[in-house]
Amino acid sequence: MASFFIYTISISYLLIMLPMFICISDQAFSEDISEAIAMKRMMKTSHLHFYFHDIVSGKNPSAMKVIGTEIMSFGTTFIIDDALTQGQEPTSKIVGRAQGMYAVAAQNDLALLMVINYSFTDGKFNGSSISILGRNHVFDDIREMPIVGGTGLFRFARGYALAHTIWFDIKTGDATVEYNVFVQHF
């Protein structure tokens, strides 16, 4: 009984006193970066032009429906790993992948919520990506979506993407979409 009491007192003492013995450093959760460091990198704007190939049909689709009963009814959600190509033909040189998801987010219209990373695998931006999060009103000729961030050379990216449907097969849901992207980055 006495050893249990001593053990309990010892553990209590350690739990109360331990924080006092831990070395407290001057590291802060956040700190201001001097303007001299921030000014070393200048903001620039890049224009990217590529084609997005969304293939829902066939033996090897790049877009897979994960939620929903009908092809494009409210709530229907797709996970994608679509090719980004230099030209509009699917056989054109692949310059990256569009990976993420889109969902039908309107009850009385066809508007998609796009949550997609465009990862580039070729050229100057190889290994970099941009993130798009926004509304894509499919029946508009030109749709504008915001760029909300990026990685690699697109770190701290912001800008917009203009999407224009080049080809759409109403029977299968397959589509080719032209993208003109204007992105500001360091």
At 99-132, the pLDDT tens digits run 999 999 999 999 999 999 999 999 999 999 999 9
**Domain architecture of the chain: domains with CATH:** 41-183 (2.40.480.10)
Average pLDDT over residues 66-79: 89
Looking at the predicted structure, is the pLDDT value of residue 53 above 90? yes
pLDDT greater at residue 22 or residue 124: 124
What pLDDT is recorded for position 2?
58
Q: Is 69 exposed, middle or buried (0-12, 13-18, 19+ CB in 10 A)?
A: exposed
- Whether this prediction's pTM lies above 0.85 is answered by no
- Percentage of the chain with pLDDT > 90? 70
Query: Each residue of 131-177: pLDDT tens digit?
Result: 999 999 999 999 999 999 999 999 999 999 999 999 999 899 899 99
Looking at the predicted structure, is the pLDDT value of residue 57 above 80? yes
What pLDDT is recorded for position 78?
96
What pLDDT is recorded for position 17?
58
Looking at the predicted structure, is the pLDDT value of residue 39 above 60? no
